Amino acid sequence: MNTDDQQTASVLAGHVKWYDATKGFGFIVDPSGQEDVLLHANVLRRFGLNSVPEGVDISVLFARTPKGAQALEVLSLGDGELAGDRTGAGLSDLEDLSQAQIRALPVLPARIKRFDRTRGFGFANAFGCPDDVFIHIEVMREGGFTDLRQGEAICLRVIDGKRGPMAVAVMPWESALPA
Give percent helix, percent strand, percent coil of the chain, each to the nearest 5.
20, 40, 40
pLDDT at 70 over 90: yes
Give the pLDDT confidence of 4-35 residue by residue, as tens digits: 444 588 999 988 888 887 788 999 998 887 78
Read off the pLDDT of each residue in 144-161 and give the average, rounded to a whole number.
89
Contacts 24+ apart (CB under 8 A), 123-128: 124/148, 124/154, 124/156, 124/167, 126/156, 126/158, 126/165
3-class secondary-structure state, position 32: coil
- 87-176 shares the fold of 3-77: yes
pLDDT band at 71 (very low <50, low <70, confident <90, very high): very high
> At 8, phi and psi to the nearest 5?
-105, 0
CATH class label, 3-77 = mainly beta
pLDDT averaged over every residue in the chain: 82
Cα angle 19-51-43, degrees, rounded to a multiple of 5: 90
pLDDT at 135: 93
pLDDT at 24: 86
Helices (H), strands (E): how many in the chain?
Answer: 4, 10
Q: How far apart are CA 67 and CA 25, in angstroms?
A: 14
Domain boundaries, the chain: 3-77, 87-176
Give the pLDDT confidence of 72-127 residue by residue, as tens digits: 999 888 754 433 334 333 467 777 788 788 889 999 999 999 998 878 889 999 98
pLDDT at 166: 93
pLDDT at 84: 39
pTM: 0.53
The architecture in CATH of the region 87-176 reads Beta Barrel (2.40)
